[in-house]
Structure formats: C-alpha cells, structure tokens
A = this chain, B = another copy of it.
Amino acid sequence: MPDRQVVILGAGFGGLYAALHLERALRRERSTRIVLLDKGNYHLFLPMLHEITSGGVEPRHVVRPLRPLFRKTRVDFRRAEVRSIDLEGRRILTDQGEVGYDYLVIALGSTTNFFSVDGAAETAFTLKSLKDAVGLRNHLLEMFERADLERDPDRRRRLLTFCLVGAGCTGVELATELQDLIQKTLLRNYPHLDGREVRLVLPEASGRIVPCVSSRLAWLGLDKLRRKGIEVRLHAPVIAVSEGAVTLADGKVVPTETVVWTAGVKANPIVEGLPVEKDELGRVIVDEYLELPQFPGAFALGDCAHCSDPRLQAPLPPTAQVAVQQARAVADTIAKALRGQAKRPFVYRHQGDLVSLGSGDGVGEIGGVAFSGLPAWLLWRAVFLGKLIGWKNRVRVALDWIVGAFFERDISKLEW
C-alpha cells in the first residue's frame, strides 16, 4: 500500500483537534502521514484572550507549544505560513516550499470583518491574537498615564473613553473585564483622575447583545452591563472610525483614542481566494461531510467553512465548540475513507453557551438550564479551565485566578 499524506492547515481549535483525533483514529494505519502546518509554533486558547488584556491571566498560560504535544506521535508539525492552496494539483504552497496531500483539512480560521467601515481597519484595535491582547493592554495603560498628565478636560475625557464596537461574546466579555480593571484597580491608583470622566461605550448594530445565547439571557446580560456602568447602545451601527472619534449611524460622535473592533469575522484571505462556492463572508460552502463538493478529499471546518445546520436553517456560528466537533467528524471521515468504509454526515450537537461578565458575574445556558450571576461565572471558569489543553496550563491559569483573588491586578505598562 503506498504512503498517503493528510495535511492539516492551521493549529487553532479545528486544526489541532483534527490532528489529535486523526492520530488516534489512524493508530493502526502506520503508513499514513499526518502533517500539521501553522505559522506560529503554538496553539492559542482564544476564549481567554480578554483576560490577557485585563491582566487576569499571563499571556503564556493560554498558549500550548505544539512540538511537545506531538513529540511522541506520528504528527509531523511544521512551522510554515500557507501562501495558497492548489486544489486541482493537491498541493499547498508555503513560505517553506510545497507540500502535497491526499487528504486536506482546511482550518485556517478567520480574520476581523470591518464591514468596509471607513477608517476601521486602519485605526481600530482587534482581539484575534496574543499580540493584539498585549498591545491593547499596553495602550489602555498608556491612556491612563497620559490622562494623568493632561490638564485639558476635553482631551482627558477623550483619553479616558474606550469604545468597543459590537456587543457579541468577545465585545461583552472584554468590556466587563476592562470595566473591572478600570473601576477596581486603575482609578484607585490614579487618584488625580475622576471616575466620572471614564466611559466605556459599546455600540451594537443589531437590536440585542450576545447573539449566541437565548434572547432572555441576552436581555438579562444587557441589564447587568448597564448596571456596571457600560454604555451599551443598541441599533447603533458605526459608520466611521478616525483617530480621535467614532461616528454612529444616528450622527452621534464618540470622541475617543481607543476603538476595539469586536464586530465580527470573515474567512481567512487564502480561503476567500479558493476557486469554489463561498458565502458572503468568504467561507467555503461544504457538504454534509464537511467536504468541498468539487474536490473530494478536501475538507474545511471551523470559521472558514459555511456548514448549514438543517435544524437551524442557518450556517453554524464561528465558535470553538463547532470547530472542535467538526474536527472530530472530519478525522473520523478521513479514517473511514482510508479504510474504504462508508462516511457518515456531520451532525452538530449544541452543548450550551456561557458568557463571562467580569468578576463574579455571567450568563449562560447548558443542556437547557439557564444560569446567571456567580453560578454562571463559576461554571465559565470551570468549563474553560477544563478545555485548556494540557495540565500545565490548567494549573497555571487556576493559580493566576487564585493569586488574582488575593492581590490587586498589575498596572505596569511593559514595553515589548
């Protein structure tokens, strides 16, 4: 039997879990090689990125180096940046040369969707990588340092206004973490600053927040956000972003030096460029096996695939739990194909949702049971701690949280 090669692009939730499941599923097919490509040498646990920005968790504790994870396996990890995918020729072009494949898993994730809003891409911060999270933290601390020296009240208020565009999960979790950091730590340590000059503005284009959870929980969450002093504005699409201001559709202008774009995602440009059918977000449309209809053996999953859920009559959302379930299904399908067995269609099973709303608060629903307040927050911590990859990171994040419960947060602006 000739050697066959499965190539997985990307080591996010989709790619990493696909590699881990394939490794397990192909334990007997020794002749099949698994190659995993990523431009970094680690897997980043995105659901805790907002805690990096607030300083609750150390950056390195949400990062899992890939080489030790695959050291004793047949998975061949290569740090390489994908340049393009040649579906006809069954090969991947990378900055480190070409890689041929028999089976392909496209799990390149998404990039920020600025919806062509004027100035957004040039001016706004995003929250998609560790660098984003660390950079945003430093910027926030710099704004407080500058405001402390600023005599002009208008300029000081602009320095102390923080605008997060889009009240999805990312926007809401980041906003509440930042509000905690500002109210509980920063204002205590900048006694010259008046807390009433600080604003956290959260404009949202649609009529509700956190689309991932049920409508009832979203309203409960909205109430909690407003009681924390976060200015949530519904039906308020942003139409322009510039250095120093955000303009809303109703003509209102928010003067600010800090715009964080948390309004949505679209497919990775490499995926967007594939010569296959795609949706309006550039995601490739896959069949019920997560396979590209014209290119058997090539699969796409996670944020870069448009996979419709027959029950929802809508595409599955770009979340980690979707990517992880799809990864398992794709691994299973590839293993079956290698053995000549019949494949099974992918069925998504929604496990629930949890949204953290700052220290001691949250909303969520698991298995049809709704939680809010402290129980939701504790559940959030328990669930996401368990989902971290590797015991070292679990121990370290738990210790960060325990230390954080006893001591004040750090406010050093570290230049790197």
- By a beta-carbon cutoff of 8 Å, the part of chain A in contact with chain B is 40-42, 55, 58-60, 63-65, 67-68, 71, 79, 96, 129-131, 134-135, 141, 145, 148-149, 188-191, 391-392, 395-396, 399, 403, 406-408, 410-416
Q: Quick check: B403 and A396 within 8 Å, CB to CB?
A: yes
Compute how far the CA of A69 lies from the CA of B276 in the bound complex, rounded to whole angstroms: 59
| Distance (whole angstroms) from the CB of A101 to the closest CB of chain B | 19
Of all chain B residues, the one with the shortest Cβ separation from A400 is B396
Are A41 and B149 also in contact (CB < 8 A) when A399-B399, A403-B396, A407-B391 are? Answer: no
| Distance (whole angstroms) from the CB of A353 to the closest CB of chain B | 29
Contact of A392 among B130, B149, B399, B407 (CB under 8 A): B407
Contact of A410 among B40, B65, B190, B411 (CB under 8 A): B65
Q: Quick check: B149 and A71 within 8 Å, CB to CB?
A: no
For this chain, the copies found in one complex come to 2
Q: Quick check: B191 and A63 within 8 Å, CB to CB?
A: no
Q: Report B-chain residues with C-beta under 8 Å of the C-beta of A406.
A: 392
Q: Report B-chain residues with C-beta under 8 Å of the C-beta of A413.
A: 40-42
Compute how far the CA of A131 lies from the CA of B412 in the bound complex, rounded to whole angstroms: 13
Are A399 and B408 also in contact (CB < 8 A) when A145-B79, A414-B63 are? Answer: no
Q: Quick check: A416 and B188 within 8 Å, CB to CB?
A: no
| Distance (whole angstroms) from the CB of A189 to the closest CB of chain B | 4
Are A67 and B395 also in contact (CB < 8 A) when A79-B145, A141-B41, A412-B42 are? Answer: no
Compute how far the CA of A252 lies from the CA of B130 in the bound complex, rounded to whole angstroms: 42
Q: Can you list 26 A-B pairs, Cβ within 8 angstroms, ordered by A?
A: A41-B413, A58-B58, A59-B414, A59-B416, A60-B410, A60-B414, A63-B410, A63-B414, A67-B189, A67-B411, A68-B188, A68-B189, A68-B411, A71-B191, A79-B145, A129-B415, A130-B416, A131-B415, A131-B416, A134-B416, A392-B403, A392-B406, A392-B407, A399-B399, A399-B403, A416-B416
Contact of A395 among B60, B148, B403 (CB under 8 A): B403
Q: Report B-chain residues with C-beta under 8 Å of the C-beta of A415.
A: 40, 129-131
Compute how far the CA of A11 lies from the CA of B67 in the bound complex, rounded to whole angstroms: 40
Are A42 and B403 also in contact (CB < 8 A) when A191-B71, A408-B68 are? Answer: no
Are A149 and B96 also in contact (CB < 8 A) when A65-B411, A134-B416 are? Answer: yes
Residue from A68, A130, A190, A406 with most neighbouring chain B CB atoms (10 Å): A68
Shortest 9 CB-CB distances between A and B: which pairs? A42-B412, A392-B407, A67-B189, A65-B412, A65-B411, A63-B412, A134-B416, A131-B416, A58-B58
Q: Quick check: B41 and A411 within 8 Å, CB to CB?
A: yes
Q: Report B-chain residues with C-beta under 8 Å of the C-beta of A396.
A: 403
Compute how far the CA of A191 lies from the CA of B63 in the bound complex, rounded to whole angstroms: 21
Q: Report B-chain residues with C-beta under 8 Å of the C-beta of A191.
A: 71
Compute how far the CA of A65 lies from the CA of B399 in the bound complex, rounded to whole angstroms: 20
Of all chain B residues, the one with the shortest Cβ separation from A146 is B79
Q: Report B-chain residues with C-beta under 8 Å of the C-beta of A79.
A: 145, 148
Q: Report B-chain residues with C-beta under 8 Å of the C-beta of A63.
A: 410, 412, 414
Compute how far the CA of A79 lies from the CA of B59 in the bound complex, rounded to whole angstroms: 25
| Distance (whole angstroms) from the CB of A51 to the closest CB of chain B | 13
Q: Quick check: A190 and B40 within 8 Å, CB to CB?
A: no
Of all chain B residues, the one with the shortest Cβ separation from A148 is B79
Q: Report B-chain residues with C-beta under 8 Å of the C-beta of A41.
A: 141, 145, 411-413
Compute how far the CA of A413 lies from the CA of B79 in the bound complex, rounded to whole angstroms: 11
Of all chain B residues, the one with the shortest Cβ separation from A191 is B71
Of all chain B residues, the one with the shortest Cβ separation from A138 is B416
